[in-house]
Amino acid sequence: MSPLQSPHTWLITGASQGLGLAIAMSALKVGHKVIAGARNTRKAAEEHPELELLGGTIEDLEEPEMHAIMETNFFGPIRVLKGVLPAMRARGSGTIVLIGSTFGFYPCPSCAMYNTSKAAAEMLHETLMKELELFKIRTLIIEPGLFRTNVVTNAPQPVAGFSEPYLGTAIGKSLELVGNILQDPARYMPGDPSKLGDRVVEFVDRSGMAKDVAPRDRLLLGRDAVELYKLKLQSLTEDLEASSQMALSTDYDGHTGQGVSVVANF
Ligand SMILES: NC(=O)c1ccc[n+]([C@@H]2O[C@H](COP(=O)([O-])OP(=O)(O)OC[C@H]3O[C@@H](n4cnc5c(N)ncnc54)[C@H](OP(=O)(O)O)[C@@H]3O)[C@@H](O)[C@H]2O)c1
């Protein structure tokens, strides 16, 4: 990547390791300034106490465990946004970038709460796209597949363990995959975080690989992300086609109003 004409300041939360760190390095490489947020700057590499990606069935999860993941992936970022938005709005510029997840769109069995927290964060950011556009604030969503960080190693298991009956189901297969990833990350984790960092910076700056493509709000990263997106989109298209007739049958006879579809014009 070539050095920038006009550097910006990037505030990156969770920049102590993994994707946050990779994005910080990519931003610095092209001349941006980075404010790297880390909750514990002296954290030893072998510690992994966070509740980022909580596996297990919802039957096995205690309510405080469910709250913890929503705090990390949903309410925590909202607090950061509420802190920075007034200044961004007053300035009339800035970009919000959510590191979402393919699993916020295509569900991974055994990760119900993680999937849910990411889906909630994504809908929040899709709403912000509309609400903040007039203030010239861009909102972008990054959808990574599986990238080789400590994300799986760092994921704690439910305190209660796993319910026996689920082990032969999709959850069992998913937990087997987690075991494989932990044993052989090089084989099972295809994504290179430093390349993700470069693509994210290019997407935000509209430089490099993003230079000549039409501006978009969402960026998929990783072959696995592309694959799962296609599957889900196909399934949604089939849902739409299969249910259209029944959907159109439930309005009051003779009613011609647009209902909530009017929001598409807002
Ligand atoms: N890697 C992937 O395959 C992948 C795929 C899709 C989406 N993502 C998303 O990308 C983001 C980064 O993941 P990663 O792969 O880089 O994971 P990671 O290597 O485990 O890094 C997680 C980062 O988040 C911070 N963090 C975790 N819990 C926190 C909390 N409660 N409060 C404040 N900071 C907290 C960690 O700080 P400490 O160093 O202090 O623990 C660390 O900086 C996550 O939102 C993840 O869901 C990752």
| Domains in the chain with CATH codes | 9-238 (3.40.50.720)
196 CA to centre of ligand 1 in angstroms: 14
Counting from 1 in the atom list of ligand 1, the atom nearest the Cα of 73 is 45
Distances (CA, A) of 234 to 68, 106, 146, 191, 238: 33, 12, 21, 24, 6
**Range scoring the smallest mean pLDDT among 50-64, 148-162, 241-255:** 50-64
State the pLDDT at residue 112: 93
State the pLDDT at residue 49: 38
Share of the chain above pLDDT 90, in %: 76
Structure tokens at 25: 């390095």
State the pLDDT at residue 172: 86
**Tell me: the pLDDT tens digits for 91-107?**
999 999 999 999 999 99
pLDDT at 235 over 90: yes
pTM above 0.85, yes or no: yes
Counting from 1 in the atom list of ligand 1, the atom nearest the Cα of 48 is 41
Of residues 43 and 27, which shows the higher confidence score?
27
28 CA to centre of ligand 1 in angstroms: 20
**Tell me: the pLDDT tens digits for 108-136?**
999 999 999 999 999 999 999 999 999 99
State the pLDDT at residue 3: 54
252 CA to centre of ligand 1 in angstroms: 49
47 CA to centre of ligand 1 in angstroms: 13
**Tell me: the pLDDT tens digits for 41-76?**
454 334 433 334 556 788 888 899 899 999 999 999
Average pLDDT over residues 159-184: 86
Q: What is the mean pLDDT of the chain?
A: 90
Residue list, ligand 1 pocket, CB within 6 Å: 14, 16-20, 38-40, 43, 50, 52, 72, 76, 99, 101, 144, 146-147, 149-151, 154
State the pLDDT at residue 42: 52
**Tell me: the pLDDT tens digits for 174-203?**
988 988 999 999 999 999 999 999 999 999
Counting from 1 in the atom list of ligand 1, the atom nearest the Cα of 146 is 3
